[in-house]
Each structure stands twice: as structure tokens, then as C-alpha cells.
A and B are shown apart, each in its own frame.
Chain A
């Protein structure tokens, strides 16, 4: 079947527009029905495995309560004492039945109306297919705010359901002077799909650390996620992400420093095996002077898999004295694996310091021999080297991330 027909069929399968996201649903559906699905002529989708994208759309989106309870087989690690956990229960409003710490509140209807979709518009991504797919199908919203000057930790877990597709929409408002340490976990399931749209408004003097663990873990699981972050003056936002185990995954972090004068750290790791394809398309834009960015994207591709990184940085004239560094480091572990990496710097301002670079290498023979020559067996030596390679990203995750056994999984899956 052609992708346009698949898209039409998917749109027809959706329930009628309803609820408080009704307007958003209409916008997304309109976009998809006029624009259709992307093709290899669209630059941003050029390297996409379209068969996988089509099978993403072939899973039913309608979820009923029975699906959630009977097919949720996850055993989640124990939650940390001082970090509240929110599991997005796909059958009801995610804001219901959750325990929130003192400094976190649900947004009221007026606040939602004032904020929802604003960052998507600001980032100029409202015509993105990933965004459209989510808008068209999301029926519930988790909208929270961390109150002014509060210091909080949160964990948001989003499981998948076998043979189903889920769509989640999240909005976070981090009010002036607050600090948030957020750990977000996406979990795959057999023959499942996830689609997320997350908007985060980071007000001035906010410090937010955001760890994202996205683990497909099962065959035929896919994930598409758009993360749109707006940073105000004097804010610090750091994102550390891991994507692994998805048959198909596409991650689109979009960050805007709305007034410049802010600091952004983006460190991502994508690890692929068998025939997986995992792509990260990042965009960081500076809308004022003195902004700082430190970006590192690492990829490890083994067997027949494919990793893609497309990193755009936009520095318009008003963003003088921007300091941005982007580095893409890649490890190719098999002759059949493939890595595509492309930095895209659009710099109009003339007084800036922007650097970028990309390397593709293999595990170093000399490093391996050094470990072997100390009696360490080949498998253990390789796992130490991989662990060392992951460390630059993983060491920045909150300690509680360790409970998700990410490192063990990332090593075991790659060294067979």
C-alpha cells in the first residue's frame, strides 16, 4: 500500500475529535490529510526507513482500559524516595490519580490555554509530520508546573502496549527560579508504537536537568518523539538522552533560547543493533545574544543497523556573542552497519564562536590489546571499552537511572 493511502487509513481509524484537545486534533489531522506522509524528497526524512514509518501507522491507536491492564507486563524498578513517579496510564487523564510533590501542581484550564502549542508555534515546527502525528491522535494531556523557586525531582514513565500505538502529550512549565531534575523513561513492547510531543517552558533563572531513557527492548517497537523547549534568560537546561532497542525511532529535540543569555547542554547517545534505525534530528536556535550551547551526540551502530544524526544550530544576527560547540562522535562496529551524521550550522551573526565536528571510528585495537595484555578476556575487554564510550553521556544521568539497568543492556545487546 502507498504511504498516502496508509496515512488516510490511519486518519480514518482515529476516533472523532473530542475532549479538550479537540482543536489540536483537528489541526494535526488537517495537516496530515493535506500534506500526507513524507518521502525521501523531504530533506529531513531523506534517510528514513519508510517501511518502518508505515508500519508505525498500521497499529491501532484506540486504547481501552482492558488493553492497559492485561498487556502491561512491566516490572518497574522501585521508585526513589525523593522522586515522585508518574506512570502515564493511557486509559485516562494522566493528571488524575497522581501524587505530586509540594512544589509541583497541575496546570488549570486557563494556564493550559495560555501555553499549550505556543512553543510548537515559536519553534516553527507546527507543520512537522512528527508533530502532526501526535496532535492528530493525542487525546489526553499531562500539564504540570514546578512552582517558583521550588526544587523538585520527578520521574515520568511511559510504557507501551503490545500491538497498539499510543500518543502522549506533555506540557511542563518550570516557573522562575525553580529547579527540576526530571528522569523520563520510554519503554517499548512487542509490536508497539509510541508517539510523544512534549513542550517545556523554562522560565528565567531556572535550572533543569532532563534525563531521557528511551528503550525499545522488544522487536518491532517504534517511537517518534518531539521535544520542544523554550528557554528564557539566565536559565540552564541540560538534556541527556539514550535511545536503544527500537526497530525504528526518531527523536527531535528542538530548543530555543528565546532571549539568548542562557545555557544549553545536549548530550545524546543512540545505540543500534540488528536492523534497527534510530535517528536524532536536533535544532537549537538562539534568539538573543550571549547564548551558550554544548552539544555532543554519540552513536554506536552494530550488525546491520543504521544511526542518523542531523544537528542544526541557528544563530541569527541578533544572537551576537553566541558560543556553540557541537560534536558528533560515532562508533561503527560492523561493516554492514551505517552511520549518517550531518551538522548544519546557520550562522548570520558575525561575532560568535561556533565549532562543530564529526568523527566515525571503530573500537581502538590498541586499547583492546592493552586490556587483553592484562589478562582481561575479549568479551570483558570489549564491554569495558563500550562502557567507557557510553560514560560521557551516562555519567550525567541521575543516580536513580542506574535502577533501569541501562548500561548492562547497552553492553549485553552489543557484545554478543
Chain B
């Protein structure tokens, strides 16, 4: 094996998917290798969140055709919890509040599920508390949030920090962060972005789904993809995000139309 060639982590080919009998994805192709950061941008309804849910295995979303391979294995047959355990992490756009379930217990059970998969020893309550306290620093989060119910009564920013804390504990191979920047003020955005940067390493990859270029000022993507009408219509580097911010999606629409006309 040639160690200098980065391994493919995620390969999506001609993916078509629907939710509630409505088709949303019309042939998505995406190749993600180790160490890469990809940004996916696009209008509301272009299929960005659907793509993230399909990768994570949300049962309401049906794959009509195409494939998703994770490190060479087809994951479409895997249950969502199995996908998470092999290292696929979805940072939710709207993290769910679960009253009565302690955040600390939730984080511990989740962490141990992943550790089991990695053949690491499971952590007891005390060992886990040590680990979580260390990881809290990454997102500058108050330990008081561990004692509360999962996301219950958390502000938008606190919820997003709790997502990144989970990412820090689960040590995923690929993280798909769905609009992690939405609802964050400048300071919270910096903290969250710095957390994501700290957690990136050469063997993992990140997909940032975002509307705004401001997150990409904090985290430099290797690739920027634009989604429209359920597929990736344009791929470029960071400059593409800057152009998009300057000229809006009309610029993309025009570009695409020109291309179609040229055909």
C-alpha cells in the first residue's frame, strides 16, 4: 500500500433519494478523501440537508438508486447506529431536545458505543467524566450543561457546541456538519469553528453544509460544491464561495444556463 496516497473515505455515486414520496436528490456524485474539508453550499431546498440525512441513514429518507461507500463498504444496508459506530457523524442543524435524559449519560452511552467498535475499553462513569471534562475545553463549554437534559433549554449556540462536543468524544472518520454556523453569533462561531479545526486530522474528513462564507473564513475548505435541484452543479475551491457571496446564487443560475445553452 502506498502510504502517500490518501485513502477514499466517502464515495457517493449517482445518488437519487426521496422523502415522503417526494424526490429530492437527482444524481449526487461526491468523492471525499482523508484530510479533506468539503463545503456544500446552495439555496434552501437544494438538497443539502437531505444528502446529510441520507448519509446518516435517517429512516424517513429512501434511496432510490445510486450508492454510498464508506471506506470501500456499501453503507446503504447499515442501520443509522451502525453507520455512527463505524465513524460517520452528523452534526444536526436543529439538535433535538430530549427532556429527562441526562446529557452526561447520553454522551457516555454514545461514546462507549463508538469505543466498542474501535476495540477500546468502555469507560465507567468516573473515567468518562475525566474524558468529557477535557473535551469540554475544545468548545469552551460549561460543565453545568452535562447535568442538564440533552439540549433541553439550551440556546442555539449551546446546542451547536454540544454537537461539536459529541464530535470530539466520538472521534468520527467523517463529520457532516449541517449548518453548524446557523444561529451563532461571531464569538460562538469562532469557538465552534476553532473546535472543528482542532478536531480535524489527516485521517479524517469534514463536510460543512453552510449558506454563508463566514464559516469558511474560519475553516478553509479544500473543495466547495454548489448544490441545486438535488445535485452538485459546480465544484471549485474557496474562491467559489467568495464569488457566491459576492454575486449570489443568480450568478450560479446564469452560469449553469450558459453551460446548458453551450451544450
Q: Chain A interface (Cβ within 8 Å of chain B)? A: 364-367, 369-378, 380-381, 384-385, 387-392
Contacts and interface: CB of A to CB of B under 8 A. Distances in A.
A93 B69 CA distance: 73
A374 B100 contact: no
A373 B100 contact: no
Contacts of B114: 375
Contact of A375 (B59, B81, B150): B81
Interface in B87-117: 90, 92, 95-96, 98-101, 105-106, 109-110, 113-114, 117
B101 A375 contact: no
A374 B98 contact: no
A387 B58 CA distance: 23
A387 to B, nearest CB: 7
A373 B80 contact: yes
B225 interface: no
A388 B100 contact: yes
A369 B98 contact: no
Contacts of B117: 375
B231 interface: no
B11 to A, nearest CB: 21
B48 interface: no
B79 A390 contact: no
B100 A389 contact: yes
Contacts of B170: 374-375
B85 A375 contact: yes
B39 to A, nearest CB: 21
Given A377-B81, A378-B81, A388-B98, A365 B113 contact: no
Given A365-B59, A372-B84, A391-B100, 14 more contacts: A364-B96, A365-B60, A369-B80, A370-B150, A372-B79, A372-B81, A374-B84, A374-B106, A375-B110, A375-B113, A376-B110, A377-B113, A388-B149, A392-B100
Contacts of A373: 56-58, 80-81, 83-84, 90, 92
Contacts of B81: 372-378, 381
A385 B98 contact: yes
B166 interface: yes
A370 B100 contact: no
B101 A387 contact: yes
Interface size on B, as a range, is 20 to 34
Given A373-B84, A375-B110, A377-B113, A390 B56 contact: no
B113 A376 contact: yes
A388 B99 contact: yes
Contacts of B60: 365
Contacts of A384: 98, 101, 105-106, 109
Listed residue (B90, B99, B101, B117) with the most chain A CB atoms within 10 angstroms of its CB: B101
10 contacts: A369-B80, A374-B110, A375-B113, A375-B114, A376-B109, A377-B113, A388-B100, A389-B100, A391-B100, A392-B100
Listed residue (A374, A375, A378) with the most chain B CB atoms within 10 angstroms of its CB: A375
B97 to A, nearest CB: 8
A380 B100 CA distance: 15
A129 B106 CA distance: 47
Contacts of B85: 375
A364 to B, nearest CB: 8
Nearest to A369: B58
A369 B59 contact: yes
Contacts of A377: 81, 113
B110 A385 contact: no
Contacts of A367: 96, 98
A385 B59 contact: no
- The 7 closest A-B CB pairs, nearest first, are A388-B100, A391-B100, A375-B113, A374-B110, A375-B84, A388-B101, A370-B96
A374 to B, nearest CB: 4
Nearest to A384: B101
B92 to A, nearest CB: 7
A194 to B, nearest CB: 30
Contacts of B80: 369, 372-373
A375 B83 CA distance: 7
A374 B149 contact: no
A306 B56 CA distance: 36
Contacts of A370: 92, 95-96, 98, 150
Given A375-B85, A376-B81, A390 B100 contact: yes
A306 B58 CA distance: 32
A34 B210 CA distance: 76
Contacts of A372: 57, 79-81, 84
B126 to A, nearest CB: 20
Listed residue (A364, A365, A380, A381) with the most chain B CB atoms within 10 angstroms of its CB: A381
A387 B106 CA distance: 12
Interface string B63-83: 000000000000000011101
A407 to B, nearest CB: 11
B168 to A, nearest CB: 13
A373 B91 CA distance: 9
A48 B65 CA distance: 52
Contacts of B150: 370
B16 to A, nearest CB: 21
Contacts of A376: 81, 106, 109-110, 113
Contacts of B98: 367, 370-371, 384-385, 388
Contacts of A387: 100-101
A385 B113 contact: no
